[in-house]
Structure 1
Amino acid sequence: MGPHVATIVALDAGGTSTRARGVRDGRVVHEGVGGPGNPRTVKGDELVASYTEAFAGCPVADLVVACVAGAGTLDMRAVVEDVVSSLQPGACVHVVPDYVAAWRAVSPIADVAVIAGTGSVVCTPDDSGGWDVSGGRGWILGDHGSAARLGQALLGWYAESPSELPEWVRSELRTRYGSSDWHWLVRILHEGSAPASLLSRGAPILTALADQRHPRATEILRTEMALLAAMTSQHVTRLLGAEAPLRVGLVGGVWRAPSAVTAFAEALSSQHPTLRLADDRPRDPLDGAESLAHDLRVTS
């Protein structure tokens, strides 16, 4: 029998989905997706079910690195570690906040990471090996530019003035929510255990409308991205100085929409001229989680 070849698993868990990638000897041996994996917004059996689905069919792992939204405190990291350890009992498990993976994904090209997924966060590493983070307050008090906020705006608009929206929007709502009746939408949002995840389903509809240059969708997107750009500018000014010429890297699903990237870039240029996008291609935080897992495997 030859030498043991380790299997490492990288996890990216957020407010909408939990994604797992298993790698052995440089080859991807597992890819899985589960439901929301943020331990602050999803609890108990539902949280376990999300991680179980992501790990379904995964080989036995030697190392699991879980980069998780909501895991900024020891108690939340312990919750995730317990769940992952129950699914991979022989593995060494490391749990870190999701922005660590985001930073790893953009660090080759950028000085600042701006995450716009279910929520929104701006982060940079500090001089002590820790992290400086702005945002992450959730869709009720913050998360401007996030999928949850964009979806919330879309659904509010639809409930208020459904006739303003083209017919294809109703079809998309039926696909994403099971119905285009706004009464139904209100009901599932109030009864659902993970409203941010539900709201996020509407974000691609709003950005698609903005990509088509629908005036109201464009206005909503510009307003949200201006607020996210303001948070980015304030973060950089507070930590690095107003005149620092820095590159901004984009991470998260919202940035797949060209209209979102354009709106953010225009707002950032207006508010903080020394900041610029490293490029307009969003990075995948799961790639950052895998990079971190490889490094931890080498040093462990």
Structure 2
Amino acid sequence: MNQKLLAGVDIGGTKTRIMASRGSLTMVDETIVTDGWRIRQMEADAVKLAGIVIDLCGGSAPDAMAVGAHGCDTDEQCRRFQALLSQQTGGKVQVVNDAELMVPAAGYVDGVGVVAGTGSIAVARTAEGRMLAAGGWGWILGDEGSAAALVREAAKAIRGVLDRGQDGDPLIGALMRELDTDDQTKLGILLNETRGAAIWGRYANAVFDAAVAGSPLAIRVIREGGAGLAALVEVLIERGANAALVVAGGGVIAEQPMLMKAFVEAMASISPSSQVVLLREPPVIGAVAIARRLVAASGGASQSNASTVEHE
């Protein structure tokens, strides 16, 4: 029996991971820099991404491909990118928001996916398959609990204590070391000169290091970051999402137990009945799982409906 070639793609804010398999054999597992190929023009991006996937698969277009795309925050955006990719590959394609990879990557079918990495967002589907999203507004307006937002809130907290003539909190020194300065007055200037979520996100370790050192400011920032993520889930619940299962993933929350703990504690208050799971597998596995469902679906999913994730 000819086994189908399946491809999964996880497009994050900074990295894109591509995995392809045939049967139980993983043929491709590559990570590339998102900015290296994505220019935020859907037509051009579809051509580039399809070309990259086909090239990695030895010149063969996948029979089914699923893509979790950072920045595809509405059904309309997902369907448009999906149609463009389908034109390029000729196979079945499904595009979802990258947060939607959390649930299938954890081995489940239905639930709320929460990403806390370079940015943050919470996404779910209604029983009818309509996307519900909260967050994802970028580090200037929000992205609560993300790496960049934690640094932003840490800098604001530092500003507050320095204005009051208090300079003993370990968070101050930790962030200064990350920015390679010994002048407190330059914190704002240096952060302003290094704009961008990816760059600010690199300084997030200072917040967690300071919390380990007992910084009240850092502990507060992390606690509020976890609460901010839980608040996104609360918004989805208010809009009708089923939050019986909540799967959290992303570089920051997966690597920093203090943030996950803060999120779980906040969720216990907002939705005590929710099962909150930390994704320990790469989200791209969820994309491969969705591609497998496309092939397994009886009669095959039509392209017009493929942007809705199956629910059981």
TM-score (norm 1): 0.73
| 1:186 equivalent in alignment to 2:175 | no
Take 1:54 and 1:200, find their aligned partners in 2: how far apart are those partners?
A: 27
How many residues in Structure 1 have an aligned counterpart in Structure 2? 281
Give the aligned partner of residue 207 of structure 1.
208
Match of 2:56, SS state, is: coil
| 1:98 equivalent in alignment to 2:98 | yes
Q: Give 5+ residue unaligned stretches, structure 1.
A: 175-179, 190-194
Displacement of 1:259 in angstroms is 0.4
Q: Which residue identity is paired with 1:27?
A: L
Tell me, yes or no, if the aligned pair for 2:70 and 2:98 is still in contact at 8 Å: yes
Which of 19, 22, 31 is matched with 1:21 structurally? 19
**Bigger shift: 223-232 or 289-298?**
223-232
Take 1:109 and 1:9, find their aligned partners in 2: how far apart are those partners?
A: 18
Take 1:89 and 1:273, find their aligned partners in 2: how far apart are those partners?
A: 42
- Please give the per-residue CA displacement for 1:152-190, whole angstroms capped at 9, x wherever unaligned: 34566789979955888677667xxxxx9975653342x
Tell me, yes or no, if the aligned pair for 2:194 and 2:200 is still in contact at 8 Å: no
Take 1:55 and 1:145, find their aligned partners in 2: how far apart are those partners?
A: 32
Displacement of 1:61 in angstroms is 3.2
- Cα RMSD, aligned residues only: 4.1
Match of 1:239, SS state, is: coil
Matches within 5 A, 1:6-17: 6-17=4-15
- Please give the per-residue CA displacement for 1:220-255, whole angstroms capped at 9, x wherever unaligned: 1112222222232343244269xx8x3432122222
Displacement of 1:281 in angstroms is 4.9
Give the aligned partner of residue 40 of structure 2.
43
Tell me, yes or no, if the aligned pair for 2:102 and 2:247 is still in contact at 8 Å: no
Tell me, yes or no, if the aligned pair for 2:82 and 2:93 is still in contact at 8 Å: no
Matches within 5 A, 1:225-240: 225-239=226-240
Q: Which residue identity is paired with 1:126?
A: T
Tell me, yes or no, if the aligned pair for 2:174 and 2:209 is still in contact at 8 Å: no
Q: Cα–Cα, structure 1 residues 73 and 27, in superposed 2: closer, same or farther, change >3 Å? A: same
TM-score (norm 2): 0.70
Higher relative contact order (CA 8 A, sep 6+): 2
Tell me, yes or no, if the aligned pair for 2:82 and 2:94 is still in contact at 8 Å: no
Q: Give 5+ residue unaligned stretches, structure 2.
A: 181-185, 301-312
The percentage of counterpart residues that share the same residue type is 25
Q: Cα–Cα, structure 1 residues 91 and 247, in superposed 2: closer, same or farther, change >3 Å? A: closer
Give the aligned partner of residue 261 of structure 2.
262
